[in-house]
Amino acid sequence: SEKEGLFALKGHAIVGGARASLYNAMPLEGVVELAQFMQEFERKNG
């Protein structure tokens, strides 16, 4: 994810994968970028 410019994404300790904690507001552009990354991650790893 850091190669894509996305930081602080972590995998679950037991099941792996990727998760994002969005407790603070973020711009729409960041949400779109994160959604695209997650869709690609699912396509490659799902």
Q: What is the pLDDT tens value at each position of the chain, 46 positions in all?
A: 777 777 777 777 788 777 777 778 888 998 898 899 889 988 988 7
Rounded distance between C-alpha atoms, residue 46 and residue 43, angstroms: 6
Count of CB atoms within 10 A of residue 29's CB?
8
pLDDT value of position 11: 77
Report how far residue 12's alpha carbon sits from residue 31's, in angstroms, rounded to the nearest whole number: 21
pTM for the structure as a whole? 0.65
pLDDT at 13: 78
pLDDT score, position 26: 84
Q: Which two tokens stand for residue 43?
A: 């396509």
Return the pLDDT at 39.
93
